[in-house]
Amino acid sequence: MIGRYAKLNVYQEIFNQEDFFKLAGGAALIPVAMMIHALDISPVAGISLTQVILLVSVAVNGFPIVVEAVKGLIAREVNVDELVSIAIIACVLNGNFLEAAVVSAIMVFGALVEEAVSDSARDAIKKLVEVTPKTALVERGGKAVELPVEKIRPGDVLPVREGEVIAADGVVLEGRAAVQEASLTGEPLPVKKEAGDEVFAGTACAEGYIKIQAVKVGKDAAIGKIITLVQGAEQSQTKGARIVDRYAAWFTPVILSAGLITYLVTGDINRAITVLIVGCPCSFLLAGPVTTVAAVGRAARSGILVKGGQYLENIAGATLFCFDKTGTITTGQPVVTEIIPADGVD
């Protein structure tokens, strides 16, 4: 679960609200068990209540990890799932129920954190999608009919009235309008458009009326390509993330071997289990994907569109930045700072 699915977008189908409550419930059992242990409550029918509660916690959070590890072995894939599963099982068999419960909770919590961050990035992409309208007026048979944007085809004529969002990239056939293009260019002021000028999907007619002929629609439009770029950036692996994947492939057998050697040398199973637990690299494996998704999502919410995670890493070595227009490093919202009347005017 942790290593095999520590990739962008995969948790979308794995984790949901029910899983969050399972994690919280399983983790909450740990302090409950510790309180019962501190109160020194006598075993019931020879069974320790503390151990029972901890085993339930392990079952809730650890069992899914073990299941995914078994699936990985069946698919002949070695990943950190196997390492974590062996550590959990070894703890349980040796009576280290607290350690097993804590490791299970931490691993699942780390995966849940990645899903939360991924959701944040996906929300930013959804906002980009919402820039384009769901329906638009299209001239068919001499009449303007409202159609879903999916049915717009290149060559269709679209009348655009004041206040409406343009549904396709195209060319103005007739009319004049001031078009707000801030969603694409960052320019704060509307741009005048008339016959022969280009217009783009996702921009809004702030004033006037125009008819346009659709040239590019859907994913071929400028806003569609931007959305595709952001989605691709979220899914792409950075150099660091690729290193993490390679690291996980050999790290698991190394730690398992270290645990075995520790047991053979010392004869102490507790020390061997300690090696396995310490070797669970949850934070390291999640660091690359989580930071990439978080950065791409945060940039998108700020109007910065990143083509890929690898470009974020390249910024660390950049020594020169070039900016092409207003709205890029400014807020893009001009305000009146001073009123200077003409001579002779109060």
**Residues identified as active-site:** 324
Give alpha helix (H) positions in the chain: 11-14, 17-38, 49-74, 80-93, 97-129, 182-185, 222-235, 239-266, 269-278, 282-301, 309-315
Task: State the Cα–Cα distance between residues 181 and 151, nearest whole angstrom.
Answer: 24
Close Cβ partners of 136 (under 8 Å, ≥ 6 residues apart): 146, 147, 149, 152, 158, 164, 167, 168
308: left (phi over 0), alpha (psi -120 to 50) or beta: beta
Contact 203, 183 (CB under 8 A): yes
Q: Strand, helix or coil at 147?
A: strand
Contact 126, 54 (CB under 8 A): no
Close Cβ partners of 146 (under 8 Å, ≥ 6 residues apart): 135, 136, 137, 138
Of residues 109, 84, 79, the one with CA closest to residue 280: 84
Contact 159, 137 (CB under 8 A): yes
